[in-house]
A and B are shown apart, each in its own frame.
Chain A
Amino acid sequence: MKPNDPGITWLEEKPLGLAERLYLPLFVQGLTTTSRHLVSKKNTVNFPEERPAIGNPLIYRGVHRLNRDEEGRVKCVACFLCATACPAHCIDIVATESPWEDREKYPESFQIDELRCIFCGMCEEACPVDAIELTSLLDLTGKSREEMIFDKEKLLSVYDMTKDAEPMKSAELGGTL
């Protein structure tokens, strides 16, 4: 589109009125906004001493966890659907035959690169057995990149840590089990 295109409507800036040219009314207007925020309720918290309010923890998308079944085994069946759905390619699974009678396949290794993850929650959506879930843990820190690649044990320990505060997703929240 060129500048002389008939489809373009050119707008002229309005000339300044008297109040604007006087400058004082606008000055007062700006100062009023500043003073209002000085006295209003503050949203900032002193993190990490204070925790921010995050709404419903059941639908918050924080650090992942791998759920356990009733017998304490990893619930994941290594179907790779989370790895397939993941837009950041941060999930790496090695599947193998399970050592248990009632289960056929399980993840020998399950790694999530938390630095690569964009916390979109697609893995949770894709999981057919509700094994992978995002918790409300939001302060994710580590001293090295290697430390931020969470393996199966680490992800299971996140479950142990959060299972009481955040029960597994129920049917009302879209869970299948």
Chain B
Amino acid sequence: MPTVIVDGQEIEIGADERLNCIEAARRAGVEIPHYCWHPGLSVVASCRMCLIQAGSRNAETGEVSMIPKLVPGCQTPVKDGTVIVTDSDLVRDSRARVEEALLIDHPIDCPICDKAGECLLQDYHFEHGQSERRADIHAFTSRRRDVGPTVTLFVDRCIMCTRCVRFTREVSGTAELMVSARGAKEEIDTFPGFPLENKLAGNVVDLCPVGALGDKDFLYQQRVWFLKKSANVCGGCSAGCSIVTEHNQDTVYRLKPRENPHVNKWWICDEGRYGWHHLHDPSRLVEAGRREADGFTAIEWADVVTQLRDDLKAAGRLAVAVSPQLTVEEAWMLCAVARSIDPEAFLAVGHVPTIGDDESFPGGFTIRGEKVPNRIGVETVLGLFGAVAEDGTVPGWNELLEQAQKDDVKAAWVTAGYPTPDGSWCDEQTAAAFDGLDCLVVQDLFDSPLSARAHWRLPAAGFAERAGTWVNCGHHAQSFEQAIRPPAGVWPEGRLFWNMLGRQGLYDPSGVRQQIAENSAAFAALAGDLPATGVDLRLQQLAPN
């Protein structure tokens, strides 16, 4: 195994690994500061913050010979015997000089900068900068320029790391951003008439190590140090990107990508990034209601638990749409509840909205056309309950609509939870298929033509309000935590199903997950604590137990 010596500490790296000094040092627990280098982008070595001393140790004599000048750590690959020195006076002095140079033209308007608190310029200056400033401090307001519909550029805050420019060239493949002028007059800009307008544009804001690129959606909404972070999974499409939900006092303020080499690497699309506004839409359903003569009457959840079961039982044959928005745990419990009410209940996957085809980008990122997060997970759960047609396929929404129109089906339970505030996921014609049922239960975020026909209208939880496991289009399962509490009066689906199953105490998603994993080969990989990046369900099935 090749050995690298970082500040006198020997670490071993894989024989086939191609690491640079920053990555190798990180393995040794040494953080080399850097601005322009990003693992997902090409190397330009322009910021000079990662300058270190490097050399090599002769394998035979053990003699160390160093390169006589500082080298950029991001651009210097390591091999067996590479010696990295990051804590010498020379390196420290160089970092302080770089910081000083960057701050000469920086507006130092941290009090009004949205990046303050998570800014690398702040962090590195605190850690590596010098306490005295030789240039005059002249605080000023940064010039501001819109570079696109979602992103704004604070020109003078920029340190010219060009991460954003490289992102649009290498990952989104749209190349809207460029560097105009040269030397001290360098600026990030767009080509005239071609604003930064692509489906991954929001990522440049995350990439920006300073406060130069601002997200208009988040601008001035909240200071970052007030935000609490929860590891979540995006529900926008079946790609299931790992995200961090940043929230405060049960209000989501922004979503950011979470690094996951198996799914989304470092990126998310704008559709997912801004796809949380429906959570705080005032038109959300927040009350469990039961149809009386004149519309819905509010009903306590404790009564829902008992009376819903009685109503469905009294109606007769039951058909259930298990929404692909539900987690694996919730879907499993819903199926168990349905079968306990009617052992012959017809189970089908709920509506799967699809918009266009999958869209791939040069950087390897793909936005899926299937706009639900857990179709495969729900299908697998239905398989466990034997809800499989003769040809081996799992019945879907269309099969459910057919069933609902049959005479012997008397009751239907449709879980939905689609993030469409206008309720457009279900049109009048589709909803008419449910006319004539004795009992229709609709569980959704918003009113729709379907909920207008319901006998029971129950509110659902949004993606950040539930905990559980989703299985993405590549059979990759990720567990996530609940970020915020749902609005007052809303029980997440899991809590209702848990209580309808007669279980005691609080809903425990991981307990349910263990139970599912123990009882099925398809979900065996979900046993135990899952890594933050998730597990592949298929790979684990092949592994010997």
Contact = CB atoms under 8 A, between A and B. Distances in A.
Given A103-B141, A104-B141, A104-B144, A78 B112 contact: yes
Interface in A116-153: 128-129
A78 B141 contact: no
Given A103-B141, A104-B144, A97 B111 contact: no
A84 B219 CA distance: 18
B219 to A, nearest CB: 7
Nearest to A105: B112
A176 B219 CA distance: 27
Given A77-B112, A129-B111, A105 B225 contact: no
A97 B216 CA distance: 10
A39 B221 CA distance: 62
Contacts of A172: none
B111 A81 contact: yes
A102 interface: yes
B220 interface: yes
Interface size bucket, B side? 10 to 19
B427 interface: no
B223 interface: yes
A80 interface: yes
A95 interface: yes
Contacts, number: 29
A96 interface: yes
Nearest to A108: B220
A105 B220 contact: yes
Interface string B126-157: 00000000000000011010000000000000
The interface centre, meaning the residue of A78, A80, A97, A102 with most chain B CB atoms within 10 A of its CB, is A80
Interface string A54-82: 00000000000000000000000111110
A77 B111 contact: yes
Given A79-B111, A104-B142, A97 B223 contact: no
Contacts of B111: 77, 79, 81, 128-129
Contacts of A77: 111-112
A104 B109 contact: yes
Nearest to A176: B139
Contacts of B109: 104
Interface of A: 77-81, 84, 95-97, 102-105, 128-129
15 contacts: A77-B112, A78-B220, A79-B111, A79-B112, A80-B226, A81-B111, A84-B225, A95-B221, A97-B220, A102-B141, A104-B109, A104-B144, A105-B112, A128-B111, A129-B111
